[in-house]
Amino acid sequence: MKAARTPPSADRPPQRPEHRPEPGLRERKKARTRTAIRAATYRLIREQGYDATTVEQIAALAEVSPSTVLRYFPAKEDIVLTDEHGPSLAAELRARPADEPWFESLRYVLRKAAGSGTAEDPEVTRLRTRLMVEVPAVRSRMTQSMAATGRLLGQVVAERTGRAADGFEVRVLTMSLVGGLLEASLYWAEHHHEDDLGTLVDRALDVVGHGLAPGDPQAAGPSPVPS
């Protein structure tokens, strides 16, 4: 069984996730505060660089206290990294059609996530990946965050394949995915964001699926699905 580069079931509507209630006033206020802190951080980093930007400066620009900044983001590198996407990725993967080959579902969801990130705020996405290359602490924190995302994805992969979520094969596969996605982001930034990130994610999935193909790396065929 093989995973197509463009899933044949992509034109089928995904299963609709369960309705979620609208967030209350408290949750909306928290979301606004997080957004204000992040916006202030991005602005300061653009103006003076990552190392010169302090929590106190971020708090002043966001009009909150330094303790509020640290309550929302325990470390400065947490501010520039998005950490909310793991649960949504897992939910989207669960919402794919039940008869769709699971590796196709995985490709669809991860490629969609890459496209959404670059489309929603391309400048911020480029800044974040550039910091991953330039700042070891940011890269280390991103690795930890993506590992957590990998564990969430592993639970869904286990459900779809009938394996244990903590089984050796599932852990190896999901951490291979995490490593591939991280390298796709780093490669993208190192090459001045000239490539299409979605295409790099696709190529990373091909490597995870069947390893290195001989000849032109961009001429590799579709990936066989890991069993």
Query: What does the chain look like in DSSP terms, one character per residue?
Result: -EE-SS-GGGGSPPPPPPP-PPP-HHHHHHHHHHHHHHHHHHHHHHHH-TTT--HHHHHHHHTS-HHHHHHH-SSHHHHTS--SHHHHHHHHHHHS-TTS-HHHHHHHHHHHHHHHHHHH-HHHHHHHHHHHHH-HHHHHHHHHHHHHHHHHHHHHHHHHHT--TTSHHHHHHHHHHHHHHHHHHHHHHHTTT-S-HHHHHHHHHHHHHH-PPSS-GGG--PEEPP-
Q: What is the mean pLDDT of the chain?
A: 83
The more confident residue out of 65 and 19 is 65
Q: Which two tokens stand for residue 220?
A: 């590799």
The predicted-structure confidence for 169-198, as pLDDT tens digits, reads as follows 999 999 998 899 999 999 999 999 999 998
The predicted-structure confidence for 56-112, as pLDDT tens digits, reads as follows 999 999 999 999 999 999 999 999 886 556 778 888 889 999 889 888 888 888 888
Report the alpha-carbon distance of residue 165 to residue 181 in Å, rounded.
20
* C-beta separation of 117 from 81 below 8 A: no
Report the alpha-carbon distance of residue 58 to residue 27 in Å, rounded.
21
> What residue has token string 């069993």?
227
For residue 1, name the pLDDT band (cuts at 50, 70, 90). very low
When pLDDT is averaged across residues 31-49 and rounded to a whole number, the result is: 94
Query: What pLDDT is recorded for position 120?
Result: 66
Give all domains of the chain, ordered by start, each with its CATH number. 25-74 (1.10.10.60), 81-212 (1.10.357.10)
Query: What pLDDT is recorded for position 21?
Result: 59
Percentage with pLDDT > 90 across the chain: 44
Report the alpha-carbon distance of residue 65 to residue 70 in Å, rounded.
9
Percentage with pLDDT > 70 across the chain: 81
